[in-house]
């Protein structure tokens, strides 16, 4: 539905998302060529594809609030149109106050209009400030937030330090990273600069990307004697998302650092292994299975990136919140819950089959075969052809040959 632009100053349209209606830039008015990315061309950034991200954020925040069992305060320092913060205020029970902020004056004008339109003036406050400067104003113990959601266009790394200092003990920090090219190894130097870890171009690079982001968070938190626990993470479309709670404690920070390490990978035979610790890695190590040179990713987070109990609580909340993306939400939560205790990394059947010049077998058939052989094996939300298992690469190749021969 179109909306006049006389007060906002640029073409807008009215959209409904969750329980709220908001004005957003009319993206068709700003992309002149098919190759142009419309959200970044608009005066205020808005990406309709991220609705699922926002749906998940609402569920995660509601689950966190239930676990805290009290009213909570929330900050969204990069709000754009205000849609995320407005949804938090309107849809999450137990939210006492939401602070939304953007350095873009036009964004705050649009967000202010949307706050008023949804009748949330008493629950939402707005500021027009640099995100890091804003968060730094809330680092005193009595001013801190119970939850902060950092959803930038690109990397969240520049905001992690100030966000950590603006969070209360036990607070929830949600981070989105859309710079998948650096995180997946296309631009490794950029990843090392931003996240402090080397990426790797492998078939399971999306999990490595998630672990690189979690590892960046853990090391930055440890510098302030803060420990982290990852509650939930997922990779969807063009981004990764990590939710963590923090604990102010040097002991907890040390525990977090003990979850850091490296993933070693052999491109020749698909062998992979992990080694914990930030120091002492020998990058030139040869593959223990085939003798080829082995590559590595890290340092990154080797601890859990999904908490099964948190997933289950999110599932319960999802039953009572009708959302347009309910099918995708249920699929993501079902898969992530199943892989919460699965081994690190996953095998992609397409990649193995291509290496062996064999047809790609059914994922279900190979899962059944692995279970029959006594191995742990589950699907992964990271890849529809991916399997997380404790079987070795050589076993996977042997079983794949067996399955293909039997069919």
What is the per-residue pLDDT across 129-167, written as a single tens digit (0 to 9) for each?
999 999 999 999 999 999 999 999 999 999 999 999 999
* Residue ranges per structural domain of the chain: 48-308, 309-406
pLDDT given for residue 154 in this prediction: 95
Give the pLDDT score at 36.
Answer: 79
In this prediction, residue 283 carries a pLDDT of 60
Average pLDDT over residues 353-376: 97
- Which range among 125-129, 294-298, 322-326, 397-401 shows the weakest confidence by mean pLDDT? 322-326
Assess whether the previous peptide bond of 299 is cis (omega < 30° from 0): yes
**Cα radius of gyration (the chain):** 22
| Confidence bin at 237 (pLDDT 50/70/90) | confident
Model confidence at 176: pLDDT above 90: yes
User: Nearest-5° angle of CA 75, CA 177, CA 316?
Assistant: 65
- Give the CA angle between residues 87, 88, 91 to the nearest 5°: 70
Summarize the confidence of residues 301-319 as an average pLDDT: 95
48-308 belongs to which CATH class?
alpha beta
pLDDT of residue 4: 46
Q: Tell me the pLDDT tens digit for each residue of 242-265.
A: 999 999 999 999 999 999 999 999
What is d(CA 209, CA 189) in angstroms, rounded to the nearest whole number?
14
Which position has the higher pLDDT, 4 or 392?
392
**Does the pLDDT value for residue 280 go beyond 80?**
no
- pLDDT score at 33: 79
pLDDT of residue 278: 84
The per-residue pLDDT for 385 is 97
* 323-341: average pLDDT: 93
pLDDT confidence tier of residue 26, bands split at 50, 70 and 90? very high
Q: What is the mean pLDDT of residues 13-38?
A: 90
Q: What's the rounded mean pLDDT across residues 269-290?
A: 85
pLDDT of residue 282: 64
Mean pLDDT across 167-176: 98
Percent residues over pLDDT 90 in the chain: 88
Least confident of 30-44, 64-78, 224-238, 334-348: 30-44
pLDDT of amino acid 323: 78
State the CATH architecture for 309-406. 2-Layer Sandwich (3.30)
Please check the confidence at residue 327 and state whether its pLDDT lies above 60.
Answer: yes
- Model confidence at 196: pLDDT above 80: yes
Q: In which band, very low, low, confident or very high, does the pLDDT at 37 lie, cut at 50, 70 and 90? A: confident
* Residue 338 burial (C-beta neighbours within 10 Å; 0-12, 13-18, 19+): middle
**Residues 173 and 163: beta-carbon distance below 8 Å:** yes
Cα 76 from Cα 170, distance rounded (Å): 18
The residue that leads in pLDDT, 323 or 307, is 307
Question: Would you state the pLDDT for residue 2?
Answer: 45
d(CA 266, CA 139): 44
pLDDT value for 1:
41
List, in order, residues 6 or more apart from 6 with CB less than 8 Å away.
Answer: none
The whole-chain average pLDDT of the chain stands at 94
Q: Alpha carbon 78 to chain centroid distance?
A: 16
Q: What are phi and psi of 108, to 5 degrees?
A: -70, -35
Cα 258–Cα 263–Cα 267 angle in degrees, nearest 5: 175
Q: Is the pLDDT of residue 315 over 80?
A: yes
Average pLDDT over residues 3-24: 85
**What is the mean predicted confidence (pLDDT) over 203-226?**
98
Beta sheet of 2-3, edge-to-edge order = 2-3, 12-17, 20-25
């Amino acid at each position: 539905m179109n909306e006049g632009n006389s007060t906002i100053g640029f073409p807008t349209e009215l959209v409904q998302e969750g329980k709220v209606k908001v004005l957003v830039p009319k993206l068709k008015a700003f992309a002149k060529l098919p190759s142009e990315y419309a959200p970044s061309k608009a005066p205020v950034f808005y990406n309709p594809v991220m609705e699922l991200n926002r749906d998940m954020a609402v569920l995660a925040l509601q689950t966190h609030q239930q676990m805290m069992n009290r009213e909570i305060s929330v900050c969204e320092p990069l709000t754009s149109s205000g849609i995320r913060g407005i949804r938090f205020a309107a849809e999450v029970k137990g939210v006492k106050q939401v602070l939304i902020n953007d350095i873009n004056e036009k964004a705050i004008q649009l967000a202010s209009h949307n706050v008023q339109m949804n009748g949330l003036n008493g629950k939402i406050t707005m500021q027009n400030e640099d995100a890091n400067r804003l968060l730094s104003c809330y680092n005193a113990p009595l001013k801190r937030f119970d939850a902060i959601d950092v959803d930038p266009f690109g990397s969240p790394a520049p905001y992690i330090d100030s966000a950590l200092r603006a969070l209360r003990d036990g607070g929830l920090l949600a981070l989105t990273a859309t710079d998948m090219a650096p995180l997946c190894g296309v631009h490794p130097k950029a990843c090392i600069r931003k996240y402090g870890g080397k990426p790797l171009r492998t078939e399971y690079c999306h999990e490595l990307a998630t672990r690189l982001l979690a590892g960046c968070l853990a090391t930055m938190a440890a510098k302030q004697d803060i420990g982290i626990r990852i509650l939930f993470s997922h990779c969807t479309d063009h981004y990764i998302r990590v939710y963590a709670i923090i604990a102010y404690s040097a002991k907890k920070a040390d525990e977090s650092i003990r979850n850091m390490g490296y993933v070693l990978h052999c491109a020749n035979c698909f062998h992979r292994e992990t080694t914990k610790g930030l120091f002492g890695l020998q990058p030139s190590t040869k593959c223990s299975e085939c003798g080829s040179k082995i590559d590595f990713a890290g340092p990154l987070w080797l601890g859990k990136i999904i908490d099964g109990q948190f997933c289950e609580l999110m599932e319960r909340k999802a039953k009572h919140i009708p959302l347009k993306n309910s099918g995708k939400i249920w699929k993501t939560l079902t898969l992530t819950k199943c892989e919460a205790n699965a081994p690190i990394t996953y095998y992609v059947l397409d990649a193995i089959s291509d290496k062996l010049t064999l047809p790609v077998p059914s994922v279900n058939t190979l899962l059944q075969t692995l279970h029959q052989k006594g191995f742990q094996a589950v699907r992964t939300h990271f890849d529809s052809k991916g399997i997380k298992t404790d079987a070795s690469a050589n076993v996977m190749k042997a079983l794949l040959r067996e399955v293909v021969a039997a069919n």
